[in-house]
Amino acid sequence: MSFNKSKILSKAIDPVGIIIGSVVILTWLFCLFYLLNWQIDYSNIITYLFIFVQTHLYTGLFITAHDAMHGTVSKQKNINSFFGRLTAFLFAFNFYDYLLRKHHMHHNHVASHDDPDYHESGKFWLWYWNFIKSYITIKQLILITVSLQLLKLVFPLENLLLFWVLPSILSTFQLFYFGTYIPHRNDAHNNNQHKSGTLQKNHLWAFLSCYFFGYHYEHHDAPGIPWWRLWQTK
């Protein structure tokens, strides 16, 4: 590739990763608290804009956890793991160590029978269903159910469903479609070493769609580069 990997990797371990991860977490928390107290008006287009924003922030939580899986949030292992565990848990009570094992299976066996993110049918809904099943656990569903029952004692149930539950579900579609399905969906990518496709260059759309992870070949080629520098590899 034409970019200087060593230069970008050296930057990937600076404190900026901690700052960006913190901004994602705090923005998500602030927006969630605000929206759980917001007066819902379905005739107001801002309601739907808020759902989009909260979905994108949920995706940001998962992307931060993903970066931690590659050790790029912080060069300090304990701090990196803290961010990974926190953001994974905030994203619908996922468990970091479980996700870590699954994700590295994906990188080691991309687009193969041993890849937990891949489905050979290539059919969107069947693939998505298998993708979700491989990550959701009973413990996770119990925690979501109990938390919803407790939170509705404090916040309106309608707000919880609209701004806490729904965006987390929509975010799984965003992550799956742009980060898994599109990059690995057909055999046309099998002629490259990472069996991965990539978005055409448009940095704004790449960020809005999935924090630059549409640049998927580039991620597989240099997994030690955090999401906020991934555009530089394009």
Q: Say if CB 91 and CB 69 are below 8 A apart.
A: no
Instruction: List the one residue out of 123, 93, 234, 35 whose CA is nearest residue 85.
Output: 93
- Please give the residue range of the domain that contains residue 11: 5-233
Q: What is the pLDDT along the chain (234 residues), one digit of tens a residue?
A: 444 554 555 444 568 999 999 999 999 999 999 999 999 999 999 999 999 999 999 999 999 999 999 999 999 999 999 999 999 999 999 999 999 999 999 999 888 888 888 888 889 999 999 999 888 899 999 999 999 999 999 999 999 999 999 999 999 999 999 999 999 887 656 678 888 889 999 999 999 999 999 999 999 999 999 999 999 998
- Report how far residue 234's alpha carbon sits from residue 225's, in angstroms, rounded to the nearest whole number: 12
Q: What is the pTM of this model?
A: 0.89
Q: Is the dihedral of CA 164, 167, 170, 171 positive or negative?
A: negative
Length of the chain: 234
- Report how far residue 169's alpha carbon sits from residue 164's, in angstroms, rounded to the nearest whole number: 9
Average pLDDT score over the chain: 91
Residue type, 21: G
pLDDT tens by residue, 120-137: 888 999 999 999 988 889
Domain count, the chain: 1
- Report how far residue 52's alpha carbon sits from residue 56's, in angstroms, rounded to the nearest whole number: 6
